[in-house]
Amino acid sequence: MKVKFVETLKSYGIILAFLLICVGLSILSPVFFTLNNIINVIRQTSIYGIMAVGMTFVILTGGIDLSVGSVLAVSGAICAGMLKAGNPIILVLLATLGVGVGCGLVTGLFVTKARITPFVVTLGMMSIARGLALIYTRGYPISGFSPTFRLIGGGYILGIPIPIIIFLVVVIIAYIVLMQTKLGRYTYAIGGNEETVRLSGINSDFFKTLVYVISGSTAALSALILTSRLNSAEPVAGTGYELDVIAAVVIGGASLSGGRGSVWGTFIGALLIGVINNGMNLLGISPYFQQVVKGLIIIGAVWLDQLRAKEE
Amino acid sequence: MDDRVLWMKGIRKSFPGVQALKSVDFDLARGEVHALVGENGAGKSTLMKILSGLYKADEGEIWLRGRKLSSRGIKAMIDAGVSVIYQELNLMRQLSVAENIFIGREPMRYSGLIDWKKMYLDVQRILEPFNVDINPKTKIYMLSPAYQQVVEIAKALSLNSDILVMDEPTAPLTGNEVEKLFEIIRNLRNSGVSIIYISHRLEEIPQIADRVTVLRDGEKILTRPLGELTTAEIIRHMVGRTLTEQYPKISVPLGKEILHVENLTKKGYCKDVSFSVRRGEIVGFTGLVGAGRTEIMQTIYGRMKKDSGSIYIDGQEVQIHSTCDAVKKGIGLIPEERKHQGLVLGLSVFDNMAMTILDKESVLGFLKKKKLDISVKKLVELMEIKTPSTKQLVRYLSGGNQQKIILAKWFLRHCKVYIFDEPTRGIDVGAKVEIYKLMQNLAKEGAGVIMVSSELPEILKMSDRIEVVFSGSIVKEFQREEADSEKVMEYALGLHEHESQQEPRAAGAET
């Protein structure tokens, strides 16, 4: 009986924490629990929430992708450049996603074929993609796009901001992929025990490469939303996003050693980070201090994960 | 009153499903080299792990120098003067000889810095009696295996150990180095150090040991001075067990050749391996741990890249570059390390079993969940896998049921050839019988079965043909009826190697 209670608390602890923080903030700030603010929080969350969904795949295999912020920047820059050059929007959208896919593919191949640890490869890619963004934009922002393009970040469907809809769709697709497809089941299996997967005659390298492609493409998708919403692409966009993204996945209960985690966990984790960011802003806490808090949250989340792992 | 430095009395130890040690007595005299022999799984390493403090005995006492030992644990045993030199040396390869010997107790200066000068001098003093040319500043990885062993021994002596356990110390050594090591061991013995010497190389034992103890199936068979026993007698005591287990072997009419391997070579692992398996046949592969049986299988299976050789399935040559290819060609491998290679412990019974057929049972990547569910549940029932549901994480199942799940995942795939690597290791007798039955069934249905095992009884009773592997090559093939445990063991120990294979092996060791 008691064991069950503890188990439940562990599974739903994150939701409980989320609710507690929301209640706390509602009391502390009159603005927090207003429709406007809530929509605002979720819309902000969607940018890195989408990336966190991609990151969930990577972390489930036991890897990590530090390059997401930079990939966002370079995809956004190329998107903006192509729009400015007058290319049709559809082509721009595909090309932007293509950039993300390309970055992910390169990362994935280095991880699987050259057998370099993901940490190092993506650290390298983080610098490469950022550099490419700076080279492409010569260091300046590219701004001012057509109203059609700006709908992606600023439009509404049935009164719901489009970024939120995209976020939800990505979450749902990811859930289906993880639960109902080969790719999804192998993702969990590789993180649980890659040797077993390989000895089962599965081309684990292929699927491992694929998760980095997924992570790259979600970064590009977020780049589209961010560029559209800000009406500008900056070469320094997305700096430090990897922190929020990884934090969201880890807070959502994924294990950094792989094999355990879920999209729903990541979804709540992303919202939690969004709420904390928003709450600290509302309470007038300095951005410098916010960084400290976020760092502590990440360490805390991983620590919790260690404690859980030890029990197993 | 007596000169026993060590006396282990009535040691019992069981693991889930296995009684590893059944009331074993063992004693060691001062200045004695005492050889401990037995087949794989006889309980030697369990006994030594209890002595080293790594395991706790369920029952029994350990007496050291006439005093009963009260506290256990690794630290306590080291303090009590017991050091174990493991087969895989426990040295830090990137550190120097001196640092390895003094790790954790480096001489310090008042400034809080390491007193390197003193450390190097001390090491020189420690190494002096060994009469070897080792510079204390040398990094471990630059030393030969023999010198690495000397460092380990020196480290143990510098910890004031007077009881040394040496686990297969000569395994990585060449002829001259073995001589050198024996000299060191003799000197140690003369200076009053007692040594427990574990080795599979039975021919060495008369050269170095004073007494020998034979373990078999967790029981002590005998302890005798070496003068009273011949090597042949030792072998007989090692294998001569009473067969209490059941082996459900039935004869199946053999069909066509289904797998044929020719001159398979992987440098450093296997050499010129040729054999074939027919439909309905169980071919047993035996040999000592480290003989290269697993490596042969992993090379056939595409897990290790072969250097040369060909593989034929159903008479057709096949190219196997990865495990993926092997599975597509109809080979399934039930690996040696259940938990590390066969299962994903954190996933469910369903996920583990269905893993091998997701590619067949999906459309555009989407799984045919219902169909998969039905086949998995059917097989769970058929194989009597004890699990509350197919959603249960395999981590929580017993060893026998875990092993069945690994088999099940290949049954779902309907392979032509099944390779079982140590299929019954660490599972209880009841589950063993079930696994044998399943294996036998596969053969009956026309599959070819390879069984790699260190357990002679199951090799002798379940195989139609037996291949004995020594040092990466097949040294002998027995038909079922001509094999007996003594003969197989002689070949597995390499006793007949001198007749046929001396030359190539010596040449191989040079390169």
Catalogue the long-range contacts made by A178-183 (C-beta closer than 8 Å, 24 or more residues apart). Answer: A178/A57, A178/A60, A178/A262, A178/A263, A180/B366, A180/B367, A180/B369, A181/B362, A181/B365, A181/B366, A181/B367, A182/B358, A182/B359, A182/B362, A182/B365, A182/B367, A183/A207, A183/A210, A183/B365
B320-348 confidence digits (pLDDT tens): 999 999 999 999 999 988 888 999 998 99
Candidate from A300-304, B96-100, B316-320, B344-348 with smallest mean pLDDT: A300-304
Residues forming CATH 3.40.50.300 domain(s) in chain B = 1-80+194-242, 254-330+415-511
A224-233 pLDDT tens trace: 999 999 999 9
User: Which residue range(s) make up the domain with A300?
Assistant: 37-311
User: And the tokens for A112?
Assistant: 């699987």
Q: Tally helices (H) and strands (E) across chain B.
A: 18, 22
Please tell me which of the candidates A186, A192, A199 has its beta carbon nearest to residue B346.
A192
Residue A15, domain member (yes or no): no
| A26: in domain | no
Residues B373-384, mean pLDDT to the nearest whole number: 92
Is residue A174 a part of any domain in this protein?
yes
For range B463-482, the mean pLDDT: 93
Residues of B with Cβ-Cβ distance to A187 under 8 angstroms: none
Range with the lowest mean pLDDT among A119-133, A207-221, B201-215, B418-432?
Answer: B418-432
CB contact under 8 A, B366 and A186: no
Number of H helices and E strands in chain A, helices first, is 12, 4
Of A185, A198, A202, the CB nearest to B351: A185
pLDDT band for position A309 (cuts 50, 70, 90)? low
The chain A residue lying nearest B345, using CA atoms, is A192
CATH homologous superfamily for the domain B254-330+415-511:
P-loop containing nucleotide triphosphate hydrolases (3.40.50.300)
* Residue B12 Cα distances to A135, B19, B46, angstroms: 71, 8, 10
Q: Which residues of A touch B343 (CB under 8 A)?
A: 193, 196
Q: Are A116 and A110 in contact (CB under 8 A)?
A: yes
* pLDDT, tens digit (0-9, with 9 covering 90-100), for B25-59: 999 999 999 999 987 678 888 899 899 888 889 99
Nearest to B491 by CA among B115, B213, B239: B239
B70-79, B216-225, B495-504, range with greatest mean pLDDT = B216-225
Q: What is the pLDDT of residue B196?
A: 96
Q: Please give the pLDDT value at position B502.
A: 41
Partner A, chain B 350-379, Cβ-Cβ below 8 Å: 351, 354-356, 358-359, 362, 365-367, 369
Higher pLDDT residue, B171 or A17? Answer: A17
* CATH number 3.40.50.300 is the correct assignment for the domain at B1-80+194-242: yes
Angle at the Cα of B35 (from B31 to B37), degrees rounded to 5? 165
**pLDDT tens-digit series, residues A117-127:** 999 999 999 99
Tokens in use for B92?
């830090």
- What's the pLDDT at A118? 97
The domain total for chain A is 1
H helices of A61-180, where?
A: 68-84, 89-112, 118-137, 147-154, 162-180
User: Does any domain span residue A10?
Assistant: no
What is the pLDDT at residue B511? 34
Q: For residues B334 and B409, what is the distance between their CA atoms, to the nearest angstrom?
A: 9
Reported confidence tier of residue A216, pLDDT bands at 50, 70, 90 = very high
Helix (H, G, I), strand (E, B) or coil at B215: strand
Q: Is residue A283 part of a domain?
A: yes
Which range among A89-98, B68-77, B280-289 has the greatest average pLDDT? A89-98
B328/A183 CB distance under 8 A: no
pLDDT value for B504:
42
Residue B429 is predicted with a pLDDT of 65
Mean pLDDT of A204-229: 97
pLDDT above 50 (res A157): yes
Per-residue pLDDT averaged across A173-198, rounded? 93
Residue A233, in any domain of the structure:
yes
Taking all residues of chain A, what is their mean pLDDT, rounded to a whole number?
92
Q: In what order do the strands lie in the sheet containing B219-225?
A: B82-85, B163-167, B194-198, B33-37, B211-216, B219-225
Write out pLDDT tens, residues A236-282: 999 989 999 999 999 898 988 899 899 999 999 999 999 999 999 99
Task: Name, in order, each residue with C-beta under 8 angstroms of B451's C-beta and a sequence gap of 6 or more.
Answer: B282, B283, B284, B285, B420, B423, B439, B458, B459, B462, B463
Q: What is the CATH number of the domain that holds A104?
A: 1.10.3470
Q: What single DSSP character describes residue A200?
A: T
Q: What percentage of chain B has pLDDT greater than the value 90? A: 47
Average pLDDT over residues A129-139: 96
Token readout for B489 is 């063991």
Tell me which of B347, B364, B402 to substitute to probe the interface with A (most A C-beta atoms closer than 10 Å): B347
Chain A CB contacts of B409 below 8 Å: 200
Distance in angstroms (rounded) separating the CA atoms of residues A267 and A172: 10
Neighbour tally for B381: CB within 10 Å: 9
Q: How many CB pairs under 8 A join A and B?
A: 79
Chain B positions in Cβ-Cβ contact with residue A188 (cut-off 8 Å): 344, 347, 351
Give the pLDDT confidence score for residue B9 in this predicted structure: 92
**pLDDT reading at A7 higher than 60:** no
Model confidence band, residue B128 (pLDDT cutoffs 50, 70, 90): confident
